[in-house]
């Protein structure tokens, strides 16, 4: 009898342990997805929206500092990185490097092996002297553990002169430039200082990263340096514009290990020390790793997917959520520009990338966080004069198209997020829409606004005239949405009318069997048929401008084309507020169906970039959600995976990953509007555990490889025939049950189509 009870107890414990393990969604996160190919993701440890992002720097020109090439040496582990971005690198500040041997050069590099990457953890063996390096992190402090295996003298280097994107060209565009640094040995276990850098992708002004480092045991001696000259035993090197650093030697190590905690701050070195004391007051590496894992788990567990899902699909999904929450970065209490009693977020890198799916995903699973993010944007407007469209290093810049923080504000408004001053939001939106930013018009606001407000479009007197016109029209729609809600009728009528301005660049021409495209027009109202290239060998050349033409980078600079990073074939479908009118101007439903099929079948669609994020869903407006499903699943199956190259483009601060995560749940937002399009999910069941305590369940009944079409649906037991659902229906909680079949339905999603401005004027 006792034996039976013991066996039962063991079984119960085993079941409990398996249940706990199964609920640990963070275990399905693989930070290496997107580390190869174009993904550019940060692979080091981070907390959700964490300011501290320590990790290996291998390629000074890599945005994340990382390279998968094992034949390239690590030159250090820096404390600040971005994730998934394109353009020039940013950050890579306060570089740390363990090494062994006599110190004769500032340069210390090593190849690596046995690289181990998991959520909250990075480790590798530096092969030059067989040093095992491990890293975990809190929000604003990192924890390093170095295990040495050499009889030589062992040391740790802190280098304030290394950073990503360094260039020998003064004021090089998108390059980071050194401004100054300072180092001080405070005691035989403590070092502090700062590094000041400017430039980078956003061509920003100087920013300062302060640090404080503390070791678990004394270093026996040290040498500071400035500009390649060493000063043995000299405690401080002050800031006179030179590159500084320190080497700390450990003659006798306890168990051959050195533990280091390093905090950062944008205010002071003392604040950096405070961050260590508050966040990592102990010397238990495993404890800190577990705390970081649990921070992620508390967010990731808000979405529960069915147990039958494959490990690969779980990994793809939860890694997608993880990537979405690496940026923007929570720097509340760390703002050097104004008081620190309000939320402050930085590294909006860039809203042009993230407004479409990243911000809506945060709104869905972490709405209180999104409230803080929007309030931070409004604080930036109050203090700097404009909303950010991109921001990094406490500095706005650069705009790529529209003033898309307006879409984020409108998205929060229509989804009912509380705690945001929408009156101030409307004021900020009006500033974008009415006052030209001046200068080179790349930092913030709307470039070409004089043309836009005078002509109703941006002319070719300005770069990116095509996508700016399209995006400003949608920004105006979002502005009008908020204005109407706040009963500002004058602003509403002005900007709802301006939201039709995209039609002013709609040219009735044919290309590849489809008619009507957004095309360039000069300030006199004349269509532009050819684009002048940069002079070469004293000659001026022209290229014929067609809907498939790409004038960048072969003819003009990356930022100087008519469209940014896409062709007219892609951008001409980017009218998210009035797809019904887009269909009409394209020649009707049959012509639009043909147009969409041509886009995908002829390879004009670019899975790797944001302008076409909504395009696979446009079949919904034709009453053919089944065709949207087919396109979406084909795109995901062909381009995404759990492999290291499993993201098909720059992840762009989680943009590509959030697009994936939404579609795997069977939803996709039309950002700035209150609904989600419904598609065939990848999971039989998804449960969204909301902050308000109410669960929303998406259940795909009889979902199999053969049964992948939605033939009918119910919402809370009642028939639901629309292929879109309102955000409020999700917030209220309930069950959306999708009945799956092997053939498309001729009834579900065919009658009541998703909203369009021309069908349902606000």
CATH at residue 351 = 1.20.1610.10
In a shared domain, residues 293 and 315: no
What crossing angle do the helices spanning 358-365 and 311-324 adopt, rounded to 10°?
100
**Which of 656, 675, 694 is a domain's end point?**
675
* Residue 691 confidence (pLDDT): 97
In a shared domain, residues 571 and 591: yes
Examine residue 486 and state whether it is found in any structural domain, yes or no.
yes
The model's confidence at residue 553, banded by pLDDT at 50, 70 and 90, is confident
CA dihedral for 550, 552, 556, 559, sign (positive or negative): positive
Examine residue 585 and state whether it is found in any structural domain, yes or no.
yes
CA dihedral for 149, 153, 157, 162, sign (positive or negative): negative
In a shared domain, residues 417 and 486: yes
Examine residue 685 and state whether it is found in any structural domain, yes or no.
no
Taking the C-alpha atoms of residue 425 and residue 60, their distance in angstroms, rounded to an integer, is 39
* Residue 479 confidence (pLDDT): 98
- φ/ψ of 370, rounded to 5, equals -65, -35
* Residue 170 confidence (pLDDT): 84
pLDDT tens for residues 682-692?
999 999 999 99
313, pLDDT greater than 50: yes
pLDDT tens for residues 220-251?
999 999 999 999 999 999 999 999 999 999 98
CA neighbor of 215 nearest in space, from 279, 283, 122: 283
550, pLDDT greater than 50: yes
* Residue 340 confidence (pLDDT): 86
Its pTM stands at: 0.95
Taking the C-alpha atoms of residue 308 and residue 142, their distance in angstroms, rounded to an integer, is 37
Cα dihedral value 596, 598, 601, 607, nearest 10: -50
- φ/ψ of 249, rounded to 5, equals -100, 140
Q: Are 422 and 413 in contact (CB under 8 A)?
A: yes
Residues 379-404: what's their mean pLDDT? 96
In a shared domain, residues 341 and 266: no
In a shared domain, residues 250 and 331: no
Examine residue 753 and state whether it is found in any structural domain, yes or no.
no
* Residue 681 confidence (pLDDT): 98
In a shared domain, residues 548 and 427: yes
In a shared domain, residues 282 and 333: no
pLDDT tens for residues 436-494?
998 889 999 999 999 999 999 999 999 999 999 999 999 999 999 999 999 999 999 99
List the beta bridge partners of residue 215. 260
pLDDT tens for residues 186-201?
999 999 999 999 999 9
In a shared domain, residues 142 and 172: yes
User: Residue 538 to residues 544, 555, 652: CA-CA distances in angstroms?
Assistant: 20, 15, 38
* Residue 586 confidence (pLDDT): 98
Query: Which range is least confidently modeled, 31-45, 101-115, 637-651?
Result: 101-115
pLDDT tens for residues 122-157?
999 999 999 999 999 999 999 999 999 988 889 999
The model's confidence at residue 425, banded by pLDDT at 50, 70 and 90, is very high
* Residue 290 confidence (pLDDT): 98
695, pLDDT greater than 90: yes
Domain range for 58 is 26-298
State percent of the chain over pLDDT 70. Answer: 97
Examine residue 219 and state whether it is found in any structural domain, yes or no.
yes
pLDDT tens for residues 516-544?
999 999 999 999 999 988 887 788 888 89
List the beta bridge partners of residue 698. 686, 736
* Residue 5 confidence (pLDDT): 52
* Residue 18 confidence (pLDDT): 44
Residues 486-503: what's their mean pLDDT? 98
List the beta bridge partners of residue 533. none
**Which of 626, 660, 675 is a domain's end point?**
675
In a shared domain, residues 543 and 612: yes
CA neighbor of 564 nearest in space, from 609, 608, 604: 609
Residues 651-677: what's their mean pLDDT? 98
Q: Identify the CATH number of the domain in which residue 114 sits.
A: 2.70.98.10
* Residue 15 confidence (pLDDT): 45
Examine residue 318 and state whether it is found in any structural domain, yes or no.
yes
pLDDT tens for residues 739-757?
999 999 999 999 999 999 9
Work out how many domains the chain is built from and give that number: 2
Task: Find the farthest-apart pair of alpha carbons in the chain and give their distance in angstroms, rounded.
Answer: 98
In a shared domain, residues 154 and 282: yes
* Residue 17 confidence (pLDDT): 46
Examine residue 316 and state whether it is found in any structural domain, yes or no.
yes
In a shared domain, residues 332 and 251: no
* Residue 574 confidence (pLDDT): 98
Residues 726-731: what's their mean pLDDT? 98
**Which of 621, 655, 675 is a domain's end point?**
675
Examine residue 373 and state whether it is found in any structural domain, yes or no.
yes
253, pLDDT greater than 90: no
User: Residue 670 to residues 22, 491, 762: CA-CA distances in angstroms?
Assistant: 33, 23, 16
Query: Which range is least confidently modeled, 94-108, 275-289, 318-332, 534-548?
Result: 534-548
In a shared domain, residues 287 and 372: no
- φ/ψ of 527, rounded to 5, equals -65, 140
Q: Are 155 and 257 in contact (CB under 8 A)?
A: no
Residues 652-672: what's their mean pLDDT? 98
* Residue 7 confidence (pLDDT): 56
Q: How confident is the prediction for the chain on average, in pLDDT?
A: 95
């Amino acid at each position: 009898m006792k034996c039976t009870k013991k066996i039962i107890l063991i079984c119960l414990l085993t079941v409990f342990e398996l249940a706990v393990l199964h609920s640990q969604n963070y275990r399905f996160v693989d930070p290496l997805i997107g580390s190869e190919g174009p993904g550019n993701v940060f692979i080091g440890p981070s907390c959700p929206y964490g300011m501290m992002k320590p990790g290996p720097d291998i390629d000074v020109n890599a945005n994340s500092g990382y390279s998968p090439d094992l034949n390239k040496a690590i030159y250090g582990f820096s404390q600040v990185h971005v994730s998934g971005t394109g353009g020039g690198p940013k950050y890579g500040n306060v570089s740390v490097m363990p090494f062994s041997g006599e110190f004769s050069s500032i340069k210390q590099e090593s190849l690596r092996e046995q690289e181990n990457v998991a959520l909250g953890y990075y480790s590798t063996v530096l092969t030059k002297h067989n040093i095992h390096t491990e890293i975990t992190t809190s929000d604003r402090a990192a924890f390093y553990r170095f295990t040495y295996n050499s009889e030589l003298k062992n040391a740790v280097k802190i280098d304030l002169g290394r950073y990503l994107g360094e260039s020998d060209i003064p004021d090089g565009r998108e390059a980071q430039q050194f401004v100054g640094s300072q180092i001080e040995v405070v005691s035989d276990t403590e070092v502090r200082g700062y590094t000041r850098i400017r430039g980078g992708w956003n061509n920003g002004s100087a920013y300062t990263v302060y640090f404080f480092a503390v070791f678990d045991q004394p270093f026996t001696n040290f040498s500071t340096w400035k500009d390649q000259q060493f000063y043995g035993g000299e405690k401080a090197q002050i800031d006179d514009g030179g590159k500084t650093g320190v080497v700390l030697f450990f003659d006798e190590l306890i168990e051959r290990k050195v533990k280091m905690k390093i905090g950062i701050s944008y205010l002071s070195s003392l604040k950096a020390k405070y961050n260590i004391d508050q966040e990592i007051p102990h010397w238990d590496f495993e404890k800190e790793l577990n705390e970081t894992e649990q921070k992620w788990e508390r967010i990731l567990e808000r979405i529960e997917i069915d147990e039958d899902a494959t490990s690969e699909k779980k990994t793809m999904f939860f890694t997608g959520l993880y990537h979405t929450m690496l940026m923007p970065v929570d720097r509340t209490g760390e703002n050097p520009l104004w008081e620190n009693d309000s939320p402050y977020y930085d590294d909006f890198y860039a809203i042009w990338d993230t407004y479409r799916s990243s911000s809506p995903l945060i709104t869905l699973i972490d709405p209180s966080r999104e409230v803080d993010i929007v309030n931070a944007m409004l604080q930036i407007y109050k203090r700097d004069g404009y909303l950010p469209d991109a921001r990094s290093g406490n500095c706005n810049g650069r705009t790529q198209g529209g003033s898309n923080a307006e879409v984020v504000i409108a998205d929060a408004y229509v989804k009912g997020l509380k705690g945001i001053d929408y009156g101030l939001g409307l004021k900020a939106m009006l500033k974008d829409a009415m006052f030209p930013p001046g200068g080179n018009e790349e930092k913030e606001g709307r470039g070409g606004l004089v043309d836009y407000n005078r002509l109703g479009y941006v002319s070719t007197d300005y770069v990116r005239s095509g996508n700016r016109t399209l995006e400003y029209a949608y920004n105006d729609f979002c502005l009008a949405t908020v204005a109407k809600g706040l009963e500002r009728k004058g602003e509403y009528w002005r900007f709802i009318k301006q939201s039709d301005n995209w039609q002013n660049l709609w040219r009735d021409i044919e290309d590849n069997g489809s008619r009507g495209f957004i095309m360039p027009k000069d300030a006199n109202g004349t269509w532009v048929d050819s684009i002048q290239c940069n002079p070469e060998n004293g000659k001026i050349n022209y290229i014929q401008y067609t809907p498939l033409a790409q004038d960048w980078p072969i003819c003009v600079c990356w930022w100087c084309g008519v469209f940014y990073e896409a062709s007219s074939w892609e951008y001409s479908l980017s009218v998210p507020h009035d797809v019904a009118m887009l269909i009409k101007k394209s020649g009707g439903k049959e012509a639009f169906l043909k147009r969409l099929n041509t886009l995908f079948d002829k390879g004009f669609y670019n899975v790797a970039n944001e302008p076409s994020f909504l395009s696979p869903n446009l079949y919904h407006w034709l009453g053919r959600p089944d065709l949207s499903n087919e396109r979406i699943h084909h795109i995901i199956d062909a381009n995404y995976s759990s492999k290291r190259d499993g993201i098909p483009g720059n992840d762009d601060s989680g943009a590509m990953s959030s697009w994936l995560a939404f579609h795997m749940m069977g939803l996709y937002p039309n950002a700035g509007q209150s609904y989600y399009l419904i598609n065939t999910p990848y999971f039989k069941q998804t449960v969204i555990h909301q902050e308000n305590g109410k669960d929303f369940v998406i259940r795909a009944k009889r979902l199999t490889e053969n049964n992948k079409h939605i033939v009918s649906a119910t919402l809370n037991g009642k028939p639901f025939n629309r292929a879109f659902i309102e955000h409020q229906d999700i917030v209220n909680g309930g069950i959306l049950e999708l009945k799956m079949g092997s053939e498309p339905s001729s009834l579900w999603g065919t009658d009541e189509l998703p909203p369009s401005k021309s069908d349902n004027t606000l």
